């Protein structure tokens, strides 16, 4: 095995950031307030430019079927927005039709880049036309910008590096583990328990589409579907090819941004906030964590090591466009994309360790593509992002139906960089970077997830196959995508129907093992447990629900509850994936109670580890969540005073 080539980064870059930095939208049109569902400007930032726009025309309109009519429609919007008013000839904006997306939307371009104000004005004017169903700029997404391990480590690999480096695959039961290169051991609470899961499944028969930078050849990867994949990048600057055409094969040609061509002044993305970087080989690292060959006397192991990877290249120099990513999602899941041959290896799982700023709704292009994929039976797993922010403000982590993955380190703490919030479904090991998963300090090898890489600086070096450590929600995501592949492999081998994407989400959240302590921010129901999830999928539910909990049924009022001062009662309500508007209430009666709520296990009697609390005077307590995480919610009522005739109600809107 060759040494692990790694590059030190001085700072942690914000993940899921656009190549274009943001500004708050100003109200350029009175019609905006009446059109919230017809446009999306949430990812538009200040001092940035756009020249590509995705417009969805209503069915039956001339604009939907005629490129010329679509160009005329947007050209009129340009005029209404006042963009060409008093413009110099060199700045005059013309509109061109680029192509049709798989969803039926149209991609149109302007002859020059529009600044923030011009972009906002144009989008609002396009949305004001009654033929338009939805419009958004063609946002530039990026690979999650992970941190690379600082040191160079060699080890002698059957998978010789497994025992020394892959803390993330261990049971996560608190056993002390010393990662090769470190002098200190850490209690491993972040692992996903793959050794026992592998006794039940290995991923055979399942295809995982890795929508990323593409794949490079590596002796520890099955690259047999490399040629069957596709390069969806339709812009030559981003792809590095000579033309704007897409190309067969999901191979990574490099995404470096060193050199004058990538300076922001030349239309690139390198500036003081975005330093030039060598190629990341991001897709290769992600693919290795999901499916790296195992028990082959080489390197490391993979989560679902007998699953196949279908690589789809959507990220290149400076990132990748929403329009290309949406088409890749459609194609990966069996949809049709104009100009691209039919996919002969339809994926049951999609892994996307990428994204950008802005919320995602069902009418947005990414939201529509994900909905289509889920409708075809494909489970979509995405990274929550590395901005240390609420994942609800990022795409695709806020898209309906996805399994959004947050990151923990070896100690089971939320990684300081990980996005969080109600849209995060579950956590997985992504690496905490620093000793004891602190927010700063000394980098340790136990702070990273180790996987396959290429040794090339810009273009791939086919003679230089290496391994390296990355930390980020990018690394957490393929642990979950691989676990989904294990579930599908196990159910198929057992002769059971394949669980739906919603059912898979519930399997994952209901079997996740508890965080060792309450995270500082919500991070889903717990840390993914591959063994428990696969076991439950084939009918061997080894979870241990609280035996003293009183079961609640959705919408059914439970009356006559009573207790003494200091006494507590525990209730449990199962909430499925996709449920909305969860309300947990106590009401009526006499006395005084406090309510403590946790997901996955009952909160402590004093509420010290509760995820949610309601401690008002009297008995009318409530916890309300508009977009609840799936799982079993445990409600503990504690008598501040003796109480009697109290009612308890749990209700939600079923998916």
Q: Name the maximum alpha-carbon separation found in the chain.
A: 82
Q: Omega before 196 cis (within 30°)?
A: no
CB 355 within 8 A of CB 141: yes
Judge whether 282 counts as a catalytic residue: yes
Q: Which of 282, 317, 479, 513 is catalytic?
A: 282
Residues near 135 by beta carbon (within 8 Å), at least 6 away in sequence? 38, 39, 40, 53, 54, 55, 56, 123, 126, 127
Counting every residue written for the chain, the total comes to 655
CB 214 within 8 A of CB 239: no
Q: What is the CA radius of gyration of the chain?
A: 25
In whole angstroms, how far apart are CA 393 and each of 274, 344, 364?
21, 35, 14
CB 210 within 8 A of CB 310: yes
Map residue 449 onto helix, strand or coil.
strand
DSSP letters, 132-158, are: EEEEEE--EEEE--PEEPSS-B-----
Q: What is the dihedral of CA 236, 241, 245, 249, to 10 degrees?
A: -130
Please state, in angstroms and rounded to a whole number, the distance separating the CA atoms of residues 214 and 41. 29
**Given strand 643-653, what is the order of strands in its sheet?**
558-563, 643-653, 580-587, 621-625
Map residue 291 onto helix, strand or coil.
helix
Q: Tell me the HSE value of 255 on the side-chain side, using a 13 A CA sphere.
A: 26
By C-alpha distance, which of 512, 514, 525 is closest to 579? Answer: 525
Instruction: Using CB atoms within 10 Å of the CB of residue 373, give its burial: 0 to 12 exposed, 13 to 18 middle, 19+ buried.
Output: buried
Judge whether 242 counts as a catalytic residue: no
DSSP assigned state of 274: B
By C-alpha distance, which of 278, 349, 320 is closest to 19? Answer: 320
Q: Which of 129, 138, 168, 212 is catalytic?
A: 212
Q: Which of 239, 474, 574, 594 is catalytic?
A: 474
Judge whether 212 counts as a catalytic residue: yes
Please state, in angstroms and rounded to a whole number, the distance separating the CA atoms of residues 330 and 311. 14
Q: What share of the chain is helix, strand, coil (3-state, %, to 5)?
A: 20, 25, 50
Q: Catalytic residue numbers?
A: 212, 282, 474
């Amino acid at each position: 095995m060759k040494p692990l080539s790694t590059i030190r980064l001085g700072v942690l870059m914000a993940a899921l950031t656009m190549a274009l930095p943001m500004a708050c939208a100003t109200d350029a049109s009175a019609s905006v307030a009446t059109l919230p569902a017809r446009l999306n400007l949430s990812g538009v930032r200040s001092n940035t430019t756009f020249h590509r726009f995705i417009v969805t025309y209503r069915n039956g309109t001339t604009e939907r079927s005629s490129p010329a009519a679509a160009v005329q429609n947007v050209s009129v919007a340009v005029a209404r927005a006042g963009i060409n008013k008093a413009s110099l000839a060199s700045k005059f904006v013309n509109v061109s039709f680029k192509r049709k997306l798989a969803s039926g939307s149209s991609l149109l371009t302007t002859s020059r880049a529009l600044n923030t104000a011009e972009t906002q004005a144009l989008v609002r004017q396009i949305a004001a036309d009654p033929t338009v169903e939805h419009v958004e700029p063609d946002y530039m997404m990026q690979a999650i910008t992970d941190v690379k391990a600082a040191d160079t480590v060699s080890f002698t690999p059957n998978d010789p590096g497994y025992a020394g480096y892959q803390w993330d695959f261990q049971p996560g039961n608190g056993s002390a583990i010393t990662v090769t290169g470190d002098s200190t051991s850490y209690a491993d609470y972040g692992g996903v328990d793959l050794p026992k899961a592998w006794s039940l499944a290995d991923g055979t028969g399942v295809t995982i589409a890795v929508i990323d930078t593409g794949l490079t050849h590596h002796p520890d990867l099955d690259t047999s579907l490399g040629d069957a994949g596709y390069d969806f990048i339709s812009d030559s600057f981003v792809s590095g090819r000579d033309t704007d055409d897409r190309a067969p094969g999901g191979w990574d040609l490099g995404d470096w941004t060193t050199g004058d061509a990538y300076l922001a002044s030349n239309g690139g993305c390198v500036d003081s906030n975005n330093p030039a970087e060598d190629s990341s080989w991001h897709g290769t690292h992600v693919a290795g964590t999901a499916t790296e060959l195992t028990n082959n006397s080489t390197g490391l192991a993979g989560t679902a090591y007998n699953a196949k990877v279908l690589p789809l290249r959507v990220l290149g120099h400076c990132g990748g466009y929403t329009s290309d990513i949406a088409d890749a999602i459609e194609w990966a899941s069996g949809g049709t994309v104009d100009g691209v041959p039919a996919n002969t290896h339809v994926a049951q799982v999609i892994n996307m360790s990428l994204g950008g700023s802005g919320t995602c709704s069902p009418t947005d292009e990414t939201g529509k593509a994900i909905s289509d994929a889920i409708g075809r039976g494909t489970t979509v797993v995405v990274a929550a992002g590395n901005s240390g922010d609420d994942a609800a403000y990022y795409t695709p982590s806020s898209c309906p139906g996805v399994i959004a993955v947050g990151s923990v380190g070896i100690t089971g703490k939320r990684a300081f960089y990980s996005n969080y919030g109600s849209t995060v479904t579950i956590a997985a090991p992504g690496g905490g970077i620093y000793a004891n998963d602190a927010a700063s300090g000394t980098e340790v090898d136990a702070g990273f997830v180790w996987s396959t890489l290429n040794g090339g600086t810009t273009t791939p070096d086919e003679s230089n196959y290496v391994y390296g450590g990355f930390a980020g929600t990018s690394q957490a995501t393929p642990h979950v995508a691989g676990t989904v592949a294990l579930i599908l492999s196990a159910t198929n081998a057992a002769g059971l129907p394949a669980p739906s994407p919603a059912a898979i989400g519930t399997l994952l959240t209901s079997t996740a093992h508890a965080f060792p302590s309450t995270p500082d921010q919500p991070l889903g129901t717990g840390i993914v447990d591959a063994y428990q999830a696969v076991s439950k999928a084939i009918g061997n539910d080894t979870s241990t629900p609280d035996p003293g909990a009183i079961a609640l049924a959705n919408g059914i009022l439970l009356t006559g509850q009573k207790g003494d001062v200091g006494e507590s009662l525990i209730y449990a309500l199962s909430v499925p994936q996709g449920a909305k508007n969860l309300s947990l209430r106590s009401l009526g009666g006499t006395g005084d109670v406090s309510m403590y709520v946790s997901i996955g296990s009952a909160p402590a009697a004093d509420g010290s580890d509760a995820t949610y609390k309601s401690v008002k005077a009297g008995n009318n307590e409530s916890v309300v969540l508009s977009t609840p995480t799936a799982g079993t919610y445990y409600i503990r009522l504690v008598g501040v005073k003796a109480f009697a005739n109290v009612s308890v109600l749990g209700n939600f809107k079923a998916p």
